[in-house]
Amino acid sequence: MSDPDQGSMTIIAWSGDLDRVWPQLILATTGAAYGMQVTVFFTFWGLFVLKRPEVRITGDSWMTKMMSAMNRGSTEHLPLSRMNFGGAGPQMMKSIADQHKVASPTELLGTARELGVRLWPCGMTMDLLGLTADDLIADLPEPVGAGAAVAEMQRSQINLFI
Amino acid sequence: MSDPDQGSMTIIAWSGDLDRVWPQLILATTGAAYGMQVTVFFTFWGLFVLKRPEVRITGDSWMTKMMSAMNRGSTEHLPLSRMNFGGAGPQMMKSIADQHKVASPTELLGTARELGVRLWPCGMTMDLLGLTADDLIADLPEPVGAGAAVAEMQRSQINLFI
Amino acid sequence: MSDPDQGSMTIIAWSGDLDRVWPQLILATTGAAYGMQVTVFFTFWGLFVLKRPEVRITGDSWMTKMMSAMNRGSTEHLPLSRMNFGGAGPQMMKSIADQHKVASPTELLGTARELGVRLWPCGMTMDLLGLTADDLIADLPEPVGAGAAVAEMQRSQINLFI
């Protein structure tokens, strides 16, 4: 679906907050709809976006266990960076979004896959956060490193760190 | 004032925190002073930068009303992402800036307009945050969507998400 | 060590949080290892990354003194943006990183210098934060302004604000 004339876009998806995941996925799907080759490299807190909804506690140290407890993750349970109010903020924001026909992160992630957006998990931060391939959604490519992300950005017209 | 040989710059202004608004506007005005065609796409919390100083509560749900109460907005009332101290931090920071002849966000926004920087409000997040055109400063262009931002970034030499 | 055919990369290092300093320095050193000319422009909280470990209180107003007390800085004492737990989070994270052979920020900063990465302190925010050249690590270039950063980004294939 990508068209070489439209160039390519690489997003370093560092954040797992709802208010940043929305721009990550809206820009990625918009670029793909325009025919760009889009790659999203999920790293640090951004990896929680790729977590399976049913997986809860991950890792084997108190730090990774507590991080997973405090970042339930998956596109269904993302916190807001501000105005979170223990999860009431994201619920209200998603309800307003729904009224205005703005797609949810879960829908956007599905659209991204349909449009051929490449979703790359960062192997190094999977280790740091105690996440394994089984904790993440199915059919992702093998985890990659910063070298692959830099090589992709060298070829891309649009590079963003979100 | 823009010079095609100098290329163009697109800034996705996502944050409404003083410590990020400063780089948004300093980089935008610097680029414009160099002859670049500069576009700033204000989205999510960044929209509060464009709020009229005299407008307070906006929207019609508890969430949008509370967001507007906690984000008084306009370039006059921006919080710091850290060290905010209930507004004392930004006041002190602006006072130090003034001593060192660093322009305030309000001055920088005026300079940006004089230099022809395009200030684009994101229509989708205006809906999410309950903001209408009347809540924003005068003489802005019509709200646009992510498609316009992506098309502009495809043409730009410098793209930043701040 | 840089190779003109590999292009160049400019990182605006705005944050001084461990979880953003890691990507700043990992991407910078990876780019340099690939032969790119890499420049990191340290501004706002990012300047604390360049602080000498033995320097504590800096500046001469209550704001700058409090900022320095709350941002001990240097690559040895960076807070996490989330899960900081009074410094226990970063210690645990660095311990996990060490087990997985992930280089620490101090090691990465050393590698960056060895690979010829240019580390530019932002003069304007040194003033705002009350930092002098003596507060920063040795052998840095003279502080520069936003103009130098924009000029460098105009030439760069990869530009990131982190």
**Average pLDDT for residues C142-153, to the nearest whole number?**
98
State whether B61 and A96 contact (CB < 8 Å). yes
Is the ipTM reported for this complex over the cut 0.95?
no
**Average pLDDT for residues B15-25, to the nearest whole number?**
96
Check whether B54 has a pLDDT greater than 70. yes
Nearest to A10 by CA among A148, A158, A150, A143: A158
B21, B24, B92, best to mutate vs chain C, most C CBs in 10 Å: B92
Minimum mean pLDDT among A110-124, B62-76, C11-25, C100-114: which range? B62-76
Collapsing DSSP to helix, strand or coil, B41 comes out as strand
Residue A11: closest C-alpha in chain B: B161
State whether B83 and C64 contact (CB < 8 Å). no
Return the structure tokens found at C119. Answer: 């580390």
Q: Which of C45, C63, C146 sits opposite B30 (nearest CB)?
A: C146
State whether A96 and B151 contact (CB < 8 Å). no
Contact C50, C136 (CB under 8 A): yes
**Average pLDDT for residues C120-147, to the nearest whole number?**
95
Return the structure tokens found at C62. Answer: 């209550």
Quote the percentage of chain C above a pLDDT of 90: 65
Residues 6+ apart with CB under 8 A from B3: B35, B36
Helix (H) or strand (E) holding A11: strand A8-13
Burial of B113 (0-12, 13-18, 19+ CB in 10 A): middle
The ranges of chain A with pLDDT < 70 are 1
- Chains near B with 3+ CB pairs less than 8 A apart are A, C
- The pLDDT score that the predictor gives to residue A1 is 61
- The pLDDT score that the predictor gives to residue C1 is 61
Chain centre distance of CA A40: 7
CA-based nearest distance C106→chain A, Å: 17
Spell out which residues of chain C touch residue A130, defining contact as CB-CB under 8 Å: 96
In this predicted model, which residue has the larger pLDDT, B87 or B104?
Answer: B104
**Average pLDDT for residues C120-148, to the nearest whole number?**
95
